[in-house]
Amino acid sequence: MPRRGRGRRRVTARRRTMAQFLFEADLQGLLKLDTPIPNAPPARWQRKAKESGPGPSPLGVSPMKPANRSHSSSKTPSKTPGKSGSKIQSTPTRAGGDRYIPNRSTMQMDMASFLLTKENDPAEESPTKKEQQKAWAVNLNGFDVEEAKILRLSGKPQYAPEGYQNNLKVLYSQKMTPGSSRKNSRYVPSMPDRILDAPEIRNDYYLNLIDWSSRNFLAVALDNSVYLWNDVSGEIIQLLQIEHPDVYVSSLSWIKEGNYLAVGTSNAEVQLWDVQQQKRLRNMTSHCARVGSLSWNSYILSSGARTGHIHHHDVRVAEHHVATLAGHTQEVCGLEWSLDGRYLASGGNDNLVNVWPCAQGGSGDISPVQTFTQHQGAVKAVAWCPWQMNVLATGGGTSDRHIRIWNVCSGACLSSVDAHSQVCSILWSTNYKEFISGHGFAQNQLVIWKYPSMTKIAELQGHTARILNLTMSPDGTTVASAAADETLRLWRCFEMDPIKKKEKEKANSAKPSIIHQSIR
């Protein structure tokens, strides 16, 4: 009994081990997807193979991999290039096809390539047909369609015909207007910093009645008197008053050092005044008509008269009249020496601009190096560029209304802009690459221009009558404008950065006067 029991236990243990092994083998077989599932329904491709009759045996073929099988009974719609028959075509029976992509051997690839390349080739049309199509396009669209193409995928790019103007250019390529869309433009105050009364100032386009000294004194000529206004203290001093009632002051000009003031009068005199002593040093008479313009070049004082002559006065000597420049036939209303002292620019009522060399001689010995005749009106506004010594800006009167920039070495006109109003005065900024112009009717405004682009930066309005003269403060930040409305307006339009301002003050340290104690 004990032995039989042990034998039965061993057999039972073996059977259990065998059953467990078979169970694990079946489980591993089920987990393998590439082996056929026993007692499972046949696959779809196996059913189709049985229904289609005898054929190659599909045994041993996995349903997850493509196989070479017949599709003679299935039909797939297909478009064939160049065929006009039925749109339904049987799927190719040749082995190696795909149920999603037809067999490429049945496609007319040569025909398809020919049709595609033919579309890109230029059509061979007769000249008559081309002209007819062009006429139709011009009548319907207002322009030739072939000439209006903006994109081209092949070949050389097409260019616009000569003289063609794009209508959209106004929208997308117009220059930016002042203060409206310029991102990097600086702030310019639109209101004057101060307004001063200027009663009885003469409303005469040809006179130069204000000037600002390097010592910060603003000189203003009011009829027969000259007043000095101290910008620092606000003090007002009456420097002189002409006793004769019919004589008036016609021009003013400070020497560079700011201690002497030259005064031109309507009775052809040129007076020299010491501001500190408030007394007249000398009276120079050489003209025979009123002196409307004055300009200093070191110890040489140049004066322009109504006769059209320009006289050079050496204020150090008793015989002051050292040269005469005869280049104008009418009154000289604009006169300015260049900063380096090499050239003298003069503008006259004869619409001429003359550029004279720095040479001394007798009458008729000096001739201008350049004469500009493009202005159509009197030229009063003349100004030299402070950073380009050979560049001159001029402005014409009511008949001209243009601002022109010249290169006095080559004689070329660098740029010209229509100001749309009388140009009374021009001043270059010493802090920015800009200049400002004063105008008459109809806006009576000041305009700040960017150089060399000649675009407007700002317009300063406030005067109710035409502007007569402009002058600039010694630090270059403020512009004073005198107008026929009997007011002086001070505009802080060239305010400097504080750091740059300190650097400029150190560079422009005060220098002693060259002609101090030398005037007789």
| pLDDT reported for residue 31 | 66
Q: What is the pLDDT of residues 209-221, one digit of tens each?
A: 999 999 999 999 9
| pLDDT reported for residue 359 | 76
Could you tell me the pLDDT band of residue 256, with boundaries at 50, 70 and 90? very high
Q: What is the pLDDT of residues 90-114, one digit of tens each?
A: 444 444 545 555 565 556 666 666 6
| pLDDT reported for residue 366 | 87
Which range, of 105-109, 120-124, 223-227, 325-329, averages the lowest pLDDT? 120-124
Closest CA to 390 of 407, 369, 373: 407
Instruction: Flag whether pLDDT at 204 surpasses 70.
Output: yes
| pLDDT reported for residue 164 | 52
| pLDDT reported for residue 61 | 43
| pLDDT reported for residue 335 | 98
Closest CA to 337 of 320, 312, 316, 362: 312
Could you tell me the pLDDT band of residue 149, with boundaries at 50, 70 and 90? low
Could you tell me the pLDDT band of residue 129, with boundaries at 50, 70 and 90? confident
| pLDDT reported for residue 21 | 76
| pLDDT reported for residue 255 | 96
What is the distance, to the nearest Å, from the Cα of residue 274 to the centroid of all Cα atoms in its chain?
A: 47
| pLDDT reported for residue 139 | 72
Instruction: Flag whether pLDDT at 64 surpasses 90.
Output: no
The stretch 183-208 carries a mean pLDDT of 90
Q: What is the pLDDT of residues 379-391, one digit of tens each?
A: 999 999 999 999 9
- Which residue did the predictor score with more confidence, 40 or 450? 450
The stretch 335-357 carries a mean pLDDT of 96
Long-range own/partner contacts, residues 42-51 (CB < 8 A, 24 or more apart): 45/69
Instruction: Flag whether pLDDT at 74 surpasses 80.
Output: no
CA 218/CA 230 separation, integer angstroms: 7
Cis omega (within 30 of 0) for bond into 483: no
| pLDDT reported for residue 302 | 97
Cβ atoms of residues 425 and 205 within 8 Å: no
Could you tell me the pLDDT band of residue 4, with boundaries at 50, 70 and 90? low
| pLDDT reported for residue 519 | 58
Q: pTM for the full model?
A: 0.64
The stretch 37-45 carries a mean pLDDT of 70
| pLDDT reported for residue 88 | 46
Which residue type is seen at 518?
Answer: S
| pLDDT reported for residue 134 | 78
| pLDDT reported for residue 384 | 97
| pLDDT reported for residue 389 | 92
| pLDDT reported for residue 43 | 74
Which range, of 402-416, 423-437, 464-478, 488-502, averages the lowest pLDDT? 488-502
Instruction: Flag whether pLDDT at 262 surpasses 70.
Output: yes
- The strand ranges marked E within 182-318 are 194-197, 210-212, 217-222, 225-230, 236-241, 249-254, 260-265, 269-274, 279-285, 291-297, 300-305, 309-314
The overall average pLDDT reported for the chain is 81
Task: HSE, CB side, 13 Å, CA atoms: give it for residue 482.
Answer: 24
CA 244/CA 108 separation, integer angstroms: 112
| pLDDT reported for residue 209 | 97
Closest CA to 230 of 242, 244, 220, 222: 220
- Domain annotation for the chain: domains and CATH numbers: 205-326 (2.130.10.10), 378-505 (2.130.10.10)
Cβ atoms of residues 340 and 297 within 8 Å: no
The stretch 179-203 carries a mean pLDDT of 81
| pLDDT reported for residue 340 | 94
Which range, of 115-129, 442-456, 465-479, averages the lowest pLDDT? 115-129
Closest CA to 215 of 235, 199, 200: 235
- The strand ranges marked E within 125-248 are 194-197, 210-212, 217-222, 225-230, 236-241
Long-range own/partner contacts, residues 286-292 (CB < 8 A, 24 or more apart): 286/311, 286/313, 286/320, 286/321, 287/311, 289/331, 290/250, 290/264, 290/265, 290/266, 291/250, 291/251, 291/264, 291/265, 292/206, 292/207, 292/208, 292/250, 292/251, 292/264, 292/331, 292/332, 292/333
DSSP class of 92: P
Q: Across 178-192, 261-275, 489-503, which has the greatest mean pLDDT?
A: 261-275
Instruction: Flag whether pLDDT at 346 surpasses 70.
Output: yes
**Count of positions (residues) in the chain:** 520
Q: What is the pLDDT of residues 163-183, one digit of tens each?
A: 555 555 544 444 444 444 444
Instruction: Flag whether pLDDT at 367 surpasses 60.
Output: yes
